[in-house]
Structure 1
Amino acid sequence: MFDTENIRLGIAPIAWTNDDMPELGGCNTFEQCISEMALAGFTGTEVGNKYPRDTKVLKKALELRQMEIASAWFSTFLTTRPYEDTKQTFIKHRDFLHEMGAKVIVVSEQGHSIQKKEVPLFDDKPVFTEEEWVKLAEGLNKLGSLAQEKGMEIVFHHHMGTGVQTSEEVDKLMSLTDPERVQLLYDSGHLYFSDDEAFSILENHMDRIAHVHLKDVRDDVAAIVREEKIDFMEAVRLGAFTVPGDGTIDFAPVFRKLSEADYKGWLLVEAEQDPGKADPLEYALMARQYIKDIAGV
């Protein structure tokens, strides 16, 4: 299906230790995390909160396991704070990733975000004003230019509990931003959980997708989250997300569309669960086998 020369396979550390809820997997070490990633057959990872920030130390640990850094999350607050505040922290983040050899920078707008708040995930979802949309788009265009100074790209991460969550909101952001400076991260789980138009993004914006997060959803848990008005963090604890092949999403059409479009880049498993309930290595092996069986890589 895929040209194996174009595809890199990675997995996020959030299955081992959750950055937003460090009590989930708090006992799991950085070394255990990347060792089990490599053991499961992955060659890339994003940066977690236990990863060394000293690039020499981090490079050595990864090289021993034939691993590399694919990217790392960066929170922007372009809708609620001055652009200059975001600019300075972004440059530092960019330079760290550049030294680690990453080509893309994952960016998510956290202005008004409720993903860390104990409020109903769907009822209290933030909605941007037109003025905020303009601030966001202009700010992202500027960050995209800063990334390009180092030969990198920003990929915008639509996310549950934020102002860019639904397919419609992704469409709007793409229409407002410069396609030469702002690319898109496609996250199967967040779009599926948010609405039933998860695959329209692949149809509408394939030319801007430069990074992919593979996340599955358990429909029975997602239904409880909606019906009982549960917050995002509790949804994760309950097991709303899982690895590809263990939930409801049929990934065959996703892989087929990416392949037909000659997608080049990372396919990165990102399935935040409670590692006390879902052993990270077991689920990493499960995901790797599923991707091999369905995508042929």
Structure 2
Amino acid sequence: MTKPSPQPSSPSSAPSPPSVPTRIRVGSAPDSWGVWFPDDPRQVPWQRFLDEVAGAGYEWIELGPYGYLPTDPAVLAEETARRGLRVSAGTVFTGLHHGSDVWDRTWGHVAENAALAQAMGAGHLVVIPSFWRDDRTGEVLEDPLLTAGQWRDLTRLTERLGREVRERYGLRIVVHPHADTHLDGEESVTRFLDATDPEAVSLCLDTGHYEYAGGDSVELIETYGERIGYLHLKQVDPAVLAEVVAEGMPFGPAVARGVMCEPPSGAPALEPVLAAARALDVDLFAIVEQDMYPCAPDVPYPIALRTRSFLRSCGV
């Protein structure tokens, strides 16, 4: 049987954007499917996440919380390969400002994540500082400001972490400023960068979290470009953020209220962020994360399709 000829595009169809050379590789993460925990009945099964992230047109993923995706490298390699997916990074939470007493416990957590990331061919490990208040209940766990001694521990041990992860697993750590942690906005991030060795420590700039804390992503890229080792693409809803700040709301309830929103409807505008990143002329991952835990299972995929289309219009 003869196949029907393709129909011409309608006059209202938008042309495809011109091809723009770029060294930015775009991906997504379990976070964009409402996944925050290794096991939670409100989260989509890992098989559905892999099916949908591939269906949305992404080729790169992060591992997400350790244990959500299969931790057997052979199983995970088979599941990702047959969907045309590759792994860019693993993710760990650390509390290194607490000093050497937490090193062994921290390293145990880091090592299992790094080993899986290495086995999957990833080149990065995203390191997120621990929360100073509970991200769901709002209970204050410790002072939101670090002492001078805690800053020394944070920077010294993060450098050690970077060197040991590189030596043992061949991965580069990228430290992720995050809402409700001691690294969030311009003051803490620039202090951290100025106090750490660029050979050991790079930054994962999450555009949404940096905006959440009042930072300017474009300015940070232009000022500290050599330290930007990885990007998370995310936007905040300015109106919801204003409510969150006014109410002193912790991060978890803020996400449930919708503080992180679908691009391009929020801030910062991602076009100038991506333009600044392209100007660095380095290989860089830009991983889409739209925090929305918890969410209905049918919500993430349409958003992922629209977001991937939007990013193509930005030239990546």
Under a length normalisation based on structure 1, what TM-score does the superposition of the two structures give? 0.91
Tell me by how many angstroms 1:265 deviates: 2.1
Cα contact 1:16–1:25 (8 A) shared by 2:
no
Q: Deviations over 1:99-123 (max 9, x none)?
A: 111101000121x5325242289xx
Query: SS of the counterpart of 1:73?
Result: strand
- With 11-20 and 272-281 compared, the bigger mean Cα shift is at 272-281
Residue 15 of structure 1 aligns with an amino acid whose one-letter code is: S
Q: 1:2 to 1:74 in 2, by over 3 A?
A: farther
Residue 75 of structure 2 aligns with an amino acid whose one-letter code is: V
Which of 23, 26, 33 does residue 9 from structure 1 map onto? 26
The separation in 2 between residues aligned to 1:285 and 1:125, in whole angstroms, is: 41
4+ long deviations beyond 4 Å: 20-24
Tell me by how many angstroms 1:174 deviates: 0.6
Query: SS of the counterpart of 1:144?
Result: helix
Q: 1:117 to 1:209 in 2, by over 3 A?
A: same
Which of 68, 74, 77 does residue 86 from structure 2 map onto? 68
Aligned twin of 2:311: 291
Query: SS of the counterpart of 1:79?
Result: helix
Q: Deviations over 1:61-86 (max 9, x none)?
A: 00010001111211112112432332
Which of 52, 56, 70 does residue 52 from structure 1 map onto? 70
- With 154-163 and 224-233 compared, the bigger mean Cα shift is at 224-233
Cα contact 1:183–1:210 (8 A) shared by 2:
yes
Query: SS of the counterpart of 1:119?
Result: coil
Residue 12 of structure 1 aligns with an amino acid whose one-letter code is: A
Aligned twin of 2:217: 198
Tell me by how many angstroms 1:36 deviates: 0.7
Aligned twin of 1:224: 243
The separation in 1 between residues aligned to 2:263 and 2:215, in whole angstroms, is: 17
Aligned twin of 2:5: none
Query: SS of the counterpart of 1:286?
Result: helix
1:40 matched to 2:53 = no
1:156 matched to 2:164 = no
Tell me by how many angstroms 1:270 deviates: 0.4
Cα contact 1:216–1:243 (8 A) shared by 2:
yes
Aligned twin of 2:202: 183
The separation in 2 between residues aligned to 1:73 and 1:185, in whole angstroms, is: 11
Q: 1:281 to 1:161 in 2, by over 3 A?
A: same
Aligned twin of 2:45: 29
Q: 1:196 to 1:153 in 2, by over 3 A?
A: closer
Aligned twin of 1:245: 264
Percent identity, aligned pairs only, is 27
Q: Deviations over 1:186-228 (max 9, x none)?
A: 1100011111433321122111111100001111111111122
Query: SS of the counterpart of 2:282?
Result: coil
| Bigger Rg over Cα | 2
User: In the TM superposition, what are the counterparts of 1:204-283 in structure 2 within 5 Å?
Assistant: 204-273=223-292, 274-276=294-296, 279-283=299-303
The separation in 1 between residues aligned to 2:310 and 2:57, in whole angstroms, is: 12
1:166 matched to 2:182 = no
Aligned twin of 1:104: 124
- With 241-250 and 147-156 compared, the bigger mean Cα shift is at 241-250
The separation in 1 between residues aligned to 2:56 and 2:251, in whole angstroms, is: 28
Cα contact 1:24–1:275 (8 A) shared by 2:
no
Q: 1:2 to 1:175 in 2, by over 3 A?
A: farther
Tell me by how many angstroms 1:281 deviates: 0.7
Which ranges of structure 1 fall in alignment gaps of 5 or more residues?
none
Tell me by how many angstroms 1:21 deviates: 9.8
Cα contact 1:214–1:244 (8 A) shared by 2:
no
Q: How many residues align?
A: 291
The separation in 2 between residues aligned to 1:183 and 1:100, in whole angstroms, is: 21
Alignment RMSD (CA, Å)? 2.2
